[in-house]
Structure 1
Amino acid sequence: MAVPLDEAVGLTLTAVPSDRRATIGAVPRWDERPLVGRAGELAALESSVARAVAGRGSAVLVAGDAGVGKSRLLDELAGRATARGLRVLTGHCVDLGEVGLPYLPFVDLLRPVAAELGDDASRLFAARSRAAADPDGTDLAGPVRPPVDDGRLQLFESVAAALAGLAADAPVLVLLEDLHWADRSSRDLLRYLLARLADEPVAVVASYRADDLHRRHPLRPLLAELVRLPGVERLDLAPLPDAAVQELVRGLAAGVPDRTVDDVVARAEGNAFYAEELLAAGLAGEALPLGLTDVLLARVEQLGPDAQQVLRVAAVAGRRVRHELVAAVVGPAGDLDPALAEAVHSHLLVVDPDGAYRFRHALVREAVLADLLPGERVRLHAAVAAHLAAVPGAGTAAERAHHLRGSNDLAGALSASLEAADEARRVGAPAEQLQHLEAALALWPAVPDAAARAGRSQAELLLDTAAAARRGGELHRAVALLRAAQEVLGPDGDRELRAQVHYTLGQVLARIEDQDAALRETAAAMALVPASPPSPVRTWAAATHARTSYDLERRDEGDAAAEEALAAADALGLDSAWADVAVTLARSRGGERVPARLEEALVRARRAGDADVEMRVLFNLAIVAWEAGQSAATLRWSDEGLARAVELGVEWSFYAAELRHLGVVSRYVLGDWDGSLALAERLARVPEMAAHVRAAGLLVQVGRGDPAAAERVAWARELVDRLDAYVLLLLSTAGAEVDLAAWAGDAGTAVTRAREAADTLARLWGASRLAVVRLTAMALSAVADAAATARLTGDGAAERRWAATGAELTGLARDAVADHTRVFGGHGPEAAAWQARLAAEAARLAGRADPGAWAASVEAFGYGHVYEQARSRWRLAEALVAAGDRAAALEPLCAAAETARSLGAAPLLDAVTALARRGRLELPGAGRMVETGAVFTPRETEVLALLARGRTNRQIGSELFISEKTASVHVSNILAKLGAGSRTEAVAVAASRGLLPTG
């Protein structure tokens, strides 16, 4: 007798509704977000589904920590399986304690089937049930017998029959979530099904929390048994990589500040749920969200009192803690060992290979710390600090400083912070050095003998801290620290120290584009210290004043300061000051001996051991090569400089960041686009003042037509708007924006961005703004395209407007070149190439096919700019086609196509292919050329030609001696064949496909 479905499961199908809120899925879910970082895991699951489609049973046991993304992965799998025609059944296990409802996940997954079939549900598995009840039946898979009581055999076989019956119509995917909460009956049924359905088109995917499986968890032995069955695999879901978490966070909320993203990525440690909760808390200004704290502490509170105390000690001690420290703080080993074992077996602590204990996830530690009472926390910090002080080598100075602060020993904490800063400086870690020095500064007012402990005054400590900020690329922080030093010194402080603060502040202000303020600071430094007798402070003040004077085109003032500084540096043997002045003079005066002068400065800077000056020399060696059009030499110097910066521990200092930027752009110019992008994205930590390094990679993304380019450009634009005065970031961003808009046919945006950049460059860089030529030439390309479209459609007013806009852009470029020539003399090959491109675009704007202008542009970019030379070859071929020389056009067009393919420059390749079709040129790989007659009738061809001249239907009818109504029918047919929504669009589409009639 068949067993009714509800009786077979032992419950009514409405007993317990499926409720995802009973699992970790109660928090906002990822269902509407793209799946990130799980391509490999998803492919493995889809392989299991493919086996089911092929008629074989399969199963995958998906293991992962709570919140790592198991449910999101299964949701994605379900969607894809449904799209392939599989029936997807989902069941959820729920934590109902020791008295869970039997078979709950199977009730959950079979309920929709029962609702769909109604009274026919019981017939779904009746035949299989009878076979199972027959002791002589042979329906069981070979010799396999279910490891269950005989009284449950009929029930188990009924469920198997239901699934097999469903699979007879279409393959079935069974998803079981949160198997760690499954009751014993459900575990037994799962064991039976995986053995029973091996030859059925059924795939089973079951997920469980690996971190919940303590040694005595009842699921552990079942898992060990299941993985030995044929067709059963285990898939471990590791934490998401940082890049995937970053993508996830940016997808959850638009415009999230980089610092917030970095903080979430660091703290979430690859856990999707934690990332979402931390993002929500970060945007709301919370430290650790209450809901997340409750989730984390729930597992802690399941431990015994001794194990909880161990976790509290470990949390105070740090993310990793040695056994000796825990023993010293907690107490006797007899009580400690069982407590540690409980914490480890519960997967809250893990044991590293070196024997140290570590929290499985840092947020568990944060939650435990947040739960401590203030007095308890102070006592534990004191105990840990005492142990570190008593045992040599037990901890670092940074650890001691942390625990001394936590125990309210502020004097000891100040001394330890300074020691930690010194350790960080010696290992080349300026960010950590800055952190420790700022901690010492924060403690300064609370420690009466702070100066004696520090061995320096507060102002001197502020100077040292500002130097660490500069080495770490935190220039705005350095400005704030130096301003604070000025306040501490006041107007009556030591004159030499005040002068040192002034010229140091001048150096930093110059690097954040505040030249006027920099000059005021260097002038103040010069006024505080006499020129005679020579002194190091006066020498550096003069060297810095020379640089800022030249920046503001005060050449006489700069010459006087430079000569004084050079003579004093020679007299005092200050190699680093001499090298700094030599760079300033070489760059301001130019000449053939510039490279030799710079190499001499490099020798002196290295001899002096001054990392900042050495980086400045290396950058100038690279930039001189760049300005001479020697991209390969630029790349060589930038790579050498970056390697040296890493060696010195200053890779994000100002000039090291500039060298990295040059490395990105020189690779872009030389055609190494993969290398350019890799260098732009190499390091996770990028100070805001080095954001232009990443922004420089945008040109590659735009050039390749990367769908993510628009989002990345928007990110860079937000930074530009916030960091108004940082020109290199503006240039990198504006160049990408103009190019992106030009490829999209958005001439208005291209012009707006070029104008804005030109205005900012004029305001901040004055005569040194040759970059305006590049930006205006790129924008003029979009304007010429818009004018060509207006000309094609007979829109004379639009054509005149674009012509006026083009004249304005050309004027901006002309003024920039004139100002640069007046102040600096000539310019290098790059600027000459962009001027040639500008002239060629101007001819195109005027409607002239000028192959000579484009040939000049091709030749000019031959200095080494692979991509721009290819773009000019494309336009050269276009001009030759327009001039009627199709044979000559093929060679530059083929060369442009080859470059576009090698770079992966999809938009350029599309444009080259479209030109080949329009010009009826047999370009290899461009596909068959379609003749106009193959698409349009002879009459439609005539109508299309008149449409391209802007004729109305009445005018078309008059010229072709047909009625206006007949002309309208032909126009409608043309629009339909081209898929165009308007006459103008039809002409543009026909032109792009090479279907406009010639002649």
Structure 2
Amino acid sequence: MDLLERENVVQDLAGDLQAAAGGPGRIALVRGEAGIGKTTVVQHLIQMAGPHIRVLVGACDPLTTPRPLGPLMDLAPGLGEAVGTALKGALAGASRPGEVFECLLADLSGCPSLLVIEDVHWADEATTDFLRYLARRLPAVPALVVVTYRDDELGRTHPLTALLGTLAGYSWVYRHTLAPLSRRAVAQLATGHAVDTEELYRVSAGNPFLVTEILATPAESIPATVREAVAGRLVGLSQVARSVTDVLAVLGHRASLPLMTHILPEMDGALEEAVACGILRTDGQTIEFRHELARLAVLEAVPASYRLRVHQQVLTAMRSGPVAADDLALLADHAEAAGDATAVLEYAPRAAAHAVALGAHREAAAQFTRALRSVDHLPPDQQATLWEGHALACFLARELEEGIASRRMAVKLRHALGDGQREGEDLRWLSYMLWPDGHSTEAVETGLEAVRTLEKLGPSAELAGAHLNLSMLAVYDHEDAAVSAAHAQRAMDVGGHFGDAGLAVQAQFHAAAARMLCEGSGWEECEQAVSSAMAQSLQLDAGFLAMLMCWYTVMQHDDARATAAVQRSLAYSLEHELLTFVHCTKALNSWRLLNRGAWDQASDATQEVLTHPLSPPIDRAIAGTVLGLARARAGDPQVWPPLEQAARLVDENCLIDIGLGWEARVEAFWLAEDDERAQTEAHHGLAALADRTHPWLSGALACWIHRCGGTPPPVPAAEPYALELAGNWADAAARWEELGSPYEAALAHLAGDAPALRQALTGFEDLGARPAAARARALMRARGVRPIRSGPRAATLANPYGLTNREMDVFKLLGEGLSDADIADRLYITPKTTGHHVGAVLAKLGVHSRHEAARKAH
């Protein structure tokens, strides 16, 4: 195809290549609908690459279940021996995928390279993990990575959407969108053809593939669909050449020539004819369709009986010799299409295990699903094993609902078989999965059933794990610290001699975490457990515990510790590709930003969690609650939709467990000046906490009852709440300031004298908390405190960013590059107060760093 209206994109890509070849590296995303010309652009770029640029090209295949790391297999011949060795080891299950990624990164560091991976919308999970790994480290290597994908096929739940969301945060990622051709370009392509160019433009919508295919049809009239255009190209082919296109259409977009020859021994002479018609092309030992749309058009005309026969032939051919691990997915695919249930049950579970070893959990779940469609052919114990494998793969792929359903089926089968050991382990896993799905009550009940089932059989590693699960749930459920400690100790007593290092660090952590939340002690032990897990390379345990520390520190409003915990959790989880913990940490980080008064940033942070297709209910409940409360504090009327949605995502106990759910609803009623409803909600929340011990939750609800003019019942209360309830508002406010919660400090000042009320009003106004400021003014009027400003100062209203005078002072000093300590010295305020002002300035400016703020100041 002529390079029409693509010159600018090619030149931009050539500039990217030139810059990347000298370092630092870049990623170029080339996107557009099917047939828009992405491959043509890439081919022109390859032709422009100088002799000193190494060109590496790989592609993803449109298989029902993609081959793990398929594009890397394409790249392997052009890479160093170390990469090939690592890749073979990973495919054989002898090494982890991370070793392949590390070797490839080292190989790219050796010389300037152009690495192309086409059709990433078909990528397997392991390949997207590789791209995520490479993207984060790319600035260190002299390479341009060109990634092509169809953006018209990316829905909200498409796996590629999550990868693109990750890449959005990198400044070295460049995007090139290929738009449809204009009427002028379509007319230019149609020069010399007896066609109505306006009709051609209308029918094709400017898609280059459709235009060229329609123009290639030897008919006088313009075909209405691409199906007819492709059929026109196939009309003159011999029967053998047509068989080549038909067989390849059944096999998929691409196939090896040896396999094609095995199915069509007579195709040698016809291959050239099939390629010459413009539908196919060869590349070394592979043959492929030039466009997937062409393959689909051919496939549609192939009779079902012929498709079945081809799949049976392929299955026979591939099974006739040694089966490589990389071929298991293909064998499973063809086995199912051939209607061979026995072969499906032979290859799909093996393909799933291979995918798990490569970290492609989504593909593993798909292979287990394929096997489960034929599960009735197996005895019950083997059926249970498949359901268990599917449940675990779904959990690791963050497909909770499917995983829970499969684990329930496994429990049912194990119970019927009388296999108590495996039944108890399945119950423990089911309990573990139910809590993030928002079913905290059922999670506890199921966890207790797991212990009861396993205790009948004597000590075992499974029983130790079941007690550890109950210890963890006791912390979540805010039970007395002794309950969690007892289960943790029981886990160690039963399972300590099995040498499970993960069990030991988790038992230490959960026992200490219960004390930290209920009694205020245990921080050091929790930190020691996290450090120990990291030091021992217990990646899943370390990532999980690091994420939990974010939750617990945010729940306690400890901004300094929460900030450090979030940074550590994100860094560790990203480094080790623990994406489940990444998303939960981001939800908790939005809560941290809410606590420190950065409501715009908090609201922005919730969106990545709420829009991510694989965020579990518990993460979305936290983010939705933060979003609703941030809106309430800022005076946004759209408060209740996210709060109600959060409440529907999880059960009532879980809403209490996450630590913000009930308090947010109470505060929203208070801000709406509905004190009666606020008190009712607060008493409801305290009733749900009656048998638990969590001073940070019960203390908050008691304080809201007190602020609404009611008399709260005596309940455990954390220090700042206890101080306010005791009438010591000044110390309560000071403690909130120390913790880094300026909004809560202003709330505490509402209980004070006239100067305290004025300080509360100033605090609310500085934060942009209009509803709370209105309540403060009403309270001042009721107490006869004067003067009362009617709203933000005139200087604040006149400022284009809504900065107060004090915030303007801070803003100017940020422009001088001063630290918080230097700003505090210059303005005669505390570093803690300075931090609050800096956070408010960043939020109002809509920037994310001091450096960006300084640039705006200049």
TM-score (norm 1): 0.49
Note if contact 2:502-2:538 (Cα within 8 Å) is conserved in structure 1. yes
Match of 1:750 in 2: 639
- Say whether residues 1:729 and 2:620 are aligned partners: yes
Give 1:404's aligned amino acid.
Answer: A
- Say whether residues 1:615 and 2:543 are aligned partners: yes
Match of 2:275 in 1: 341
Note if contact 1:638-1:662 (Cα within 8 Å) is conserved in structure 2. no
Note the 1:524-673 alignment, pairs <5 A.
524-530=449-455, 533-555=458-480, 557-590=483-516, 594-602=522-530, 605=533, 611-626=539-554, 627=556, 628-630=558-560, 631-646=562-577, 650-652=578-580, 655-662=581-588
Match of 1:765 in 2: 655
Secondary structure in 1 matching 2:450: helix
CA distance in 2: counterparts of 1:368 and 1:218, whole angstroms:
15
Q: How many residues align?
A: 586
Note the 1:558-957 alignment, pairs <5 A.
558-590=484-516, 594-602=522-530, 605=533, 611-626=539-554, 627=556, 628-630=558-560, 631-646=562-577, 650-652=578-580, 655-662=581-588, 686-690=612-616, 726-737=617-628, 739=630, 747=637, 749-750=638-639, 763-766=653-656, 769-770=659-660, 772-773=662-663, 783=672, 817-818=698-699, 822=715, 825-826=718-719, 832-838=741-747, 850-855=757-762, 891-892=805-806, 894=808, 903=842, 905=844
CA distance in 2: counterparts of 1:739 and 1:684, whole angstroms:
15
Alignment RMSD: 5.6
Match of 2:52 in 1: none
- Counterpart pick for 2:287 among 357, 360, 367: 357
Note if contact 1:65-1:211 (Cα within 8 Å) is conserved in structure 2. no
Note if contact 2:472-2:510 (Cα within 8 Å) is conserved in structure 1. yes
Secondary structure in 2 matching 1:460: helix
Match of 2:366 in 1: 435
- Say whether residues 1:417 and 2:348 are aligned partners: yes
Match of 1:237 in 2: none
Cα shift at 1:779: 7.1
Note if contact 1:381-1:403 (Cα within 8 Å) is conserved in structure 2. yes
Cα shift at 1:758: 7.6
Match of 2:160 in 1: none
Cα shift at 1:376: 1.0
Secondary structure in 2 matching 1:529: helix
- Say whether residues 1:509 and 2:443 are aligned partners: no
Match of 2:124 in 1: none
For residues 551 and 881 of structure 1, do their structure 2 counterparts lie closer, same or farther at Cα, with a shift above 3 Å needed?
Answer: closer
For residues 802 and 530 of structure 1, do their structure 2 counterparts lie closer, same or farther at Cα, with a shift above 3 Å needed?
Answer: closer
Give 1:381's aligned amino acid.
Answer: H
For residues 856 and 293 of structure 1, do their structure 2 counterparts lie closer, same or farther at Cα, with a shift above 3 Å needed?
Answer: same
CA distance in 2: counterparts of 1:372 and 1:582, whole angstroms:
63
Once the two structures are superposed, residues 430-481 of structure 1 have per-residue CA deviations (whole angstroms, 9 ceiling, x without a partner) of: 111111122223223235xx78xxxx73223322321111111111111101
Match of 1:405 in 2: 336
Secondary structure in 1 matching 2:559: coil
Cα shift at 1:769: 3.1
Match of 1:457 in 2: 382
Give the unaligned 5+ runs of structure 2: 13-31, 39-181, 198-204, 219-223, 688-696, 703-714, 721-734, 778-785, 797-802, 813-837, 848-855
Secondary structure in 2 matching 1:459: helix
For residues 65 and 440 of structure 1, do their structure 2 counterparts lie closer, same or farther at Cα, with a shift above 3 Å needed?
Answer: closer
Note the 1:984-999 alignment, pairs <5 A.
none
Cα shift at 1:417: 1.3
Give 2:208's aligned amino acid.
Answer: R
Cα shift at 1:407: 2.4
CA distance in 1: counterparts of 2:7 and 2:843, whole angstroms:
23
For residues 577 and 901 of structure 1, do their structure 2 counterparts lie closer, same or farther at Cα, with a shift above 3 Å needed?
Answer: closer
Give 1:836's aligned amino acid.
Answer: A
CA distance in 2: counterparts of 1:500 and 1:340, whole angstroms:
56
For residues 520 and 684 of structure 1, do their structure 2 counterparts lie closer, same or farther at Cα, with a shift above 3 Å needed?
Answer: closer
Once the two structures are superposed, residues 14-48 of structure 1 have per-residue CA deviations (whole angstroms, 9 ceiling, x without a partner) of: xxxxxxxxxxxxxxxxxxxxxxx99988x99xxxx
Secondary structure in 1 matching 2:627: helix
CA distance in 1: counterparts of 2:760 and 2:598, whole angstroms:
28
For residues 476 and 461 of structure 1, do their structure 2 counterparts lie closer, same or farther at Cα, with a shift above 3 Å needed?
Answer: same
Match of 2:263 in 1: 329
- Say whether residues 1:318 and 2:246 are aligned partners: no
Note if contact 1:780-1:809 (Cα within 8 Å) is conserved in structure 2. no
Higher relative contact order (CA 8 A, sep 6+): 2
Secondary structure in 2 matching 1:417: helix
Note if contact 1:773-1:834 (Cα within 8 Å) is conserved in structure 2. no
Once the two structures are superposed, residues 544-582 of structure 1 have per-residue CA deviations (whole angstroms, 9 ceiling, x without a partner) of: 223334444553654433321122232332222222322
Match of 2:111 in 1: none
Secondary structure in 1 matching 2:359: coil
Secondary structure in 1 matching 2:374: helix
Note if contact 1:421-1:432 (Cα within 8 Å) is conserved in structure 2. yes
CA distance in 1: counterparts of 2:840 and 2:658, whole angstroms:
36
Note if contact 2:749-2:756 (Cα within 8 Å) is conserved in structure 1. no
CA distance in 1: counterparts of 2:316 and 2:750, whole angstroms:
74
Question: What percent of counterpart residues are identical?
Answer: 16
* More divergent stretch after superposition (817-826 vs 557-566): 817-826
Secondary structure in 2 matching 1:357: strand
Give 1:750's aligned amino acid.
Answer: V
Note if contact 2:610-2:624 (Cα within 8 Å) is conserved in structure 1. no
CA distance in 1: counterparts of 2:345 and 2:677, whole angstroms:
62
Give 1:891's aligned amino acid.
Answer: N
For residues 683 and 400 of structure 1, do their structure 2 counterparts lie closer, same or farther at Cα, with a shift above 3 Å needed?
Answer: farther
Cα shift at 1:218: 12
CA distance in 2: counterparts of 1:389 and 1:380, whole angstroms:
14
Cα shift at 1:594: 3.6
CA distance in 1: counterparts of 2:667 and 2:428, whole angstroms:
39
Match of 1:201 in 2: none
Match of 2:128 in 1: none
Secondary structure in 1 matching 2:418: coil
For residues 334 and 497 of structure 1, do their structure 2 counterparts lie closer, same or farther at Cα, with a shift above 3 Å needed?
Answer: closer
For residues 471 and 482 of structure 1, do their structure 2 counterparts lie closer, same or farther at Cα, with a shift above 3 Å needed?
Answer: same
CA distance in 2: counterparts of 1:640 and 1:65, whole angstroms:
35
Secondary structure in 2 matching 1:358: strand
Secondary structure in 2 matching 1:439: helix
Give 2:335's aligned amino acid.
Answer: L
CA distance in 2: counterparts of 1:488 and 1:639, whole angstroms:
39
For residues 497 and 609 of structure 1, do their structure 2 counterparts lie closer, same or farther at Cα, with a shift above 3 Å needed?
Answer: farther
Note if contact 1:566-1:578 (Cα within 8 Å) is conserved in structure 2. yes
Give 2:655's aligned amino acid.
Answer: W
Cα shift at 1:410: 2.4
Once the two structures are superposed, residues 881-928 of structure 1 have per-residue CA deviations (whole angstroms, 9 ceiling, x without a partner) of: 5599989996335258876997474799xxxxxxxxxxxxxxxx99xx
Based on CA coordinates, which of the two structures has the bigger radius of gyration?
Answer: 1
